[in-house]
Amino acid sequence: MTALKQEDGPAFCEPWQAQAFALANALIDKGVFTADEWANTLGAEIKRAQAAGDPDTGETYYNHWLAALERLCAEKGLALGDEVSDRAEEWRNAYLATPHGQPVALK
């Protein structure tokens, strides 16, 4: 039996979790998608991760959150999977081309 009662960690363990949290809520606030669409997509991503063997003990919660966000953005045509992966490559290259200590920006 997994122990439920545990010490509370911080609200977000890493900054990207806070960013992903804020992005989804900003899009809901703007009416880009509804709270109901969001809850259903997040629920579906959690189920999918569980089926794929994720222990789903809460630590991976924001991974599911991000997967749901990417899926809804793709479904709505806001940011397609290819666009996101191309952009990620551009960012990666921008980091690699930026001398250490200087701000990283896309060209």
Burial 20-31 (b: 16+ CB within 10 A, else e): bbeebeebbeee
DSSP 3-state of 80: coil
| Residue whose CB is less far from other proteins, 75 or 83 | 83
Q: How far apart are CA 58 and CA 3, in angstroms?
A: 12
| Residue whose CB is less far from other proteins, 9 or 52 | 9
Residues of this chain that bind other proteins (CB under 8 A)? 1-6, 8-9, 11-12, 14-16, 18-23, 25-30, 32, 34-36, 38-40, 42-43, 46, 50, 55-59, 61, 63, 66, 69-70, 73, 78-79, 83-85, 87-88, 90-92, 95-102, 104, 106
